[in-house]
Amino acid sequence: MTLRRLSFLQWFGLVAGAGLWFASFLGGLGTSQAACNPGSGGWGIPYDTVELAIAAFAVCSLLAAELASIAVFRATRGTEEQDPPPHGRLHFFASAALLSNLLFLLIVVLTTIATVVDRTCHQA
pTM assigned to the model = 0.85
Preceding amide of 86 cis, omega within 30: yes
Give the list of residues 6+ apart from residue 43 with CB closer than 8 angstroms, or none. 34
How far is the first Cα of the chain from the last one, in angstroms, to the nearest whole number? Answer: 58
Instruction: Answer whether residue 67 shows pLDDT above 60.
Output: yes
Instruction: Answer whether residue 124 shows pLDDT above 60.
Output: no
**pLDDT of the residue at 65:** 95
**pLDDT of the residue at 19:** 93
| Mean per-residue pLDDT, 73-85 | 80
Q: Label residue 22 by pLDDT band (50, 70, 90).
A: very high
**pLDDT of the residue at 83:** 67
Instruction: Answer whether residue 63 shows pLDDT above 90.
Output: yes
Residue 70 is classified by DSSP as: H
CB atoms within 10 A of CB 49: 11
Distance from C-alpha of 28 to C-alpha of 4, rounded to nearest angstrom: 35
**Domain ranges, ordered by start, for the chain:** 3-117
Q: What is the pLDDT of residues 97-123, one digit of tens each?
A: 999 999 999 999 999 999 888 876 766
